[in-house]
């Protein structure tokens, strides 16, 4: 599993011209699944993301998590995170799980995320063409791998 986490002032996912999920201050999580991902991977990634200390404390030091600040979370499926660009100019996505495997893992990840926090958790729709609009705060962008 690979995630790109961005600290945001606000974010929204629009599908077919309609808002599907919208958050205020918090994090936008783009996530891709591998075929080898398991429940343990999902649990590890959820806890890692919920506890990342990327928000400023009273001294301006990045010392607080999205949980600490009562932030909001937008989760977007994004198989292209496993795009391998080392050869040629057309990325290879062979490390990304096929949709038949990735979709149930993504749905399980979202359910686990929601059951692990009291925070607002919004999502896109797996496999949909999505317009993701976000205002990156900082900017703070982190890549988290669990392989």
Please state at what angle helix 99-115 crosses helix 39-51, rounded to 10 degrees: 50
Cα(140)–Cα(17) distance, integer angstroms: 28
**What pLDDT digit, counting tens, does each position of 112-145 carry?**
999 999 999 999 999 999 999 999 999 999 999 9
Mean of the pLDDT values across residues 14-38? 97
pLDDT of 147 higher than 80 = no
Instruction: Tell me the whole-structure pTM to 2 decimals.
Output: 0.95
Q: Helices (DSSP H) in 20-81: which residue ranges?
A: 39-51, 66-69
Q: Parse the chain into domains and list their residue ranges.
A: 2-145
Decide the pairing of beta strands 2-15 and 18-23: antiparallel
Closest C-alpha to 64, from 26, 28, 31: 26
**What pLDDT digit, counting tens, does each position of 30-88 carry?**
999 999 999 999 999 999 999 999 999 999 999 999 999 999 999 999 999 999 999 99
Q: Does domain 2-145 have CATH number 3.50.80.10?
A: yes
């Amino acid at each position: 599993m690979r995630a790109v986490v961005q600290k945001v002032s606000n974010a929204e996912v629009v599908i077919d011209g309609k808002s599907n999920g919208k958050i205020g201050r918090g994090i936008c999580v783009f996530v891709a699944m591998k075929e080898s991902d398991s429940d343990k991977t999902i649990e590890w990634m959820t806890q890692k993301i919920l506890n990342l200390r990327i928000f400023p404390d009273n001294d301006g030091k990045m010392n607080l998590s999205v949980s600490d600040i009562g932030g909001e979370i937008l989760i977007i499926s994004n198989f292209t995170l496993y795009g391998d660009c080392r050869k040629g100019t057309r990325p290879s996505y062979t490390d990304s799980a096929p949709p038949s495997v990735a979709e149930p893992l993504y749905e399980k990840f979202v359910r686990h995320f929601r059951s692990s926090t009291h925070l607002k958790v919004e999502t896109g729709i797996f496999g949909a063409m999505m317009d993701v609009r976000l205002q990156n705060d900082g900017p703070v962008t982190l890549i988290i791998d669990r392989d």
